[in-house]
Amino acid sequence: MKKGIVAFILALNLILSACGSTGGGSSQREQAAFTEKYNAYIELLNFSTGRWLYGVLSVYYDTFGYDIEPIPVDKDFTNGFIFTSGDADTPNLHEMYSKNYETPRKLADSNPDFGEADVAAHRLADALEALMRTYFIDVDTYYSSGEYLKDDYAKTSDLHLEMINGYIEFLDAIDYFSMAFTEVILEYEGQDLEVFKERGWDIHYHMLSTILTARKISNMFQKLDAQGIDFLDADLSEYEPLYDQLVADIEELASIYNDEDKHTKENLTGMQVNRISFFVSTAQSLETAATDTLNMIKAGTENIPNELTGSVTTPGRNMPMYRFDQRLDSLIDYYNQVIS
């Protein structure tokens, strides 16, 4: 198992809407149920891909490694890694964070129906629980109690194999849930486009449309990767319309975002306008990655002129969608800063 797999969980982000709704025809109870489930799924994904969990897991894997066989160690673990015994001075981490999988798993069986995202939520909740139970209970007890000294690390290999297999399943479950839930997110957040259009908020409209289209593109290539399909074999009839929409939104946004009349109409402060300028420049670099991807698919090879031509890069394939996703992460951050 490669250490780099940890970085995967940092690549995921979410769009948090300022004024999304579930539709005017829904009852107040239905809207409340939708919001509760939607937010629980957001929190499940945020926790699973968050820095805290990544950090505490890294403590273990930095010690025992990422391969099937654990790295031999000779150190005192009786004070634990980040392990906590649940006594008066230290909280029980498993109990403290159990709501992060219990709540979404319960809501996955309730209305409204989120389709495949409900199945994926169950899988991720189960994988998260299993990994936390192994780490925060089994591994914690074994090392913090000093049992490893009594049996001379006899259980280390078995526990490590559970941690490796559990983490692989956890990452796969994140990938599956992210793709399935993104479909729900896109539909939900897309309703804000109509709100912005009705208000005549053109800057907000094209910012959000840029993000939603970019998310569709990212999700498209994530699905290909999950199926073991190379990005060069992507269906142009699916990608090109999304690419054209992305370019159109970015070009329109670039032409209007400095319009002071629009700033006034859309209630934009100087700080928000500043964030929008960063949004636009990042969107244009995201378009570059999207264009490189398009050209490589058309050529059937990555070895064509692109933004990295002439640059010193690390060995490996030229994967412009990796740069695309990084820039999308930044776009989402800037968008949230504007609408917050």
* Mean pLDDT of the 136-146 span: 88
Give 251-274 pLDDT, tens digit per residue: 999 999 999 999 999 999 999 999
Q: How far apart are CA 162 and CA 167, in angstroms?
A: 8
Q: How far apart are CA 322 and CA 7, in angstroms?
A: 12
The single-letter DSSP state of residue 88 is S
* Mean pLDDT of the 21-32 span: 68
* Confidence (pLDDT) at 94: 81
Contacts by 149-158, CB closer than 8 A, 24 or more apart: 149/78, 156/64, 156/70, 157/69, 157/70
| Nearest in space to 17 (alpha carbons), one of 193, 181, 178 | 193
* Confidence (pLDDT) at 261: 97
* Confidence (pLDDT) at 17: 43
* Confidence (pLDDT) at 83: 53
* Confidence (pLDDT) at 95: 82
* Mean pLDDT of the 82-95 span: 61
Highest mean pLDDT among 59-63, 123-127, 319-323, 325-329: 123-127
- Quick check: 112 pLDDT over 90? yes
- Top pLDDT among 194 and 310 is at 194
* Mean pLDDT of the 97-124 span: 96
* Structural tokens at position 189: 């957040």
pLDDT band at 22 (very low <50, low <70, confident <90, very high): very low
Mean pLDDT (the chain) is: 87
- Quick check: 103 pLDDT over 90? yes
Q: How far apart are CA 224 and CA 23, in angstroms?
A: 32
Buried b / exposed e across 191-226, counting CB within 10 Å, b at 16+? ebeebbeeeebbbbbbbbbbbbbbbbbbbbbbebee
- Quick check: 106 pLDDT over 50? yes
pLDDT band at 87 (very low <50, low <70, confident <90, very high): low
- Quick check: 88 pLDDT over 90? no
In single-letter form, the type of residue at position 327 comes to R
* Confidence (pLDDT) at 319: 92
Q: How far apart are CA 220 and CA 320, in angstroms?
A: 14
CA distances from 320 to 70, 126, 308, 334 (A): 35, 33, 9, 21
**Number of Cβ atoms within 10 Å of the Cβ of 98:** 16
- Quick check: 12 pLDDT over 70? no
Which stretch of 21-25, 80-84, 168-172 has the lowest confidence by average pLDDT? 21-25
E strands present in 22-65: none
Q: What domains, with CATH codes, occur in the chain?
A: 29-181 (no CATH), 200-340 (1.20.120)
pLDDT band at 185 (very low <50, low <70, confident <90, very high): confident
* Structural tokens at position 206: 């094209």
* Confidence (pLDDT) at 15: 40
Buried b / exposed e across 148-184, counting CB within 10 Å, b at 16+? beeeebebbeebbebbbebbebbbebbbbbbbbbbbb
Contacts of 47 (CB under 8 A, 6+ apart): 53, 97, 100, 128
* Confidence (pLDDT) at 80: 61
Q: How far apart are CA 194 and CA 205, in angstroms?
A: 8
- Quick check: 210 pLDDT over 90? yes
pLDDT band at 11 (very low <50, low <70, confident <90, very high): very low
CA distances from 82 to 33, 49, 57, 164, 250 (A): 36, 18, 9, 18, 45
- Quick check: 246 pLDDT over 80? yes
Q: How far apart are CA 251 and CA 93, in angstroms?
A: 48
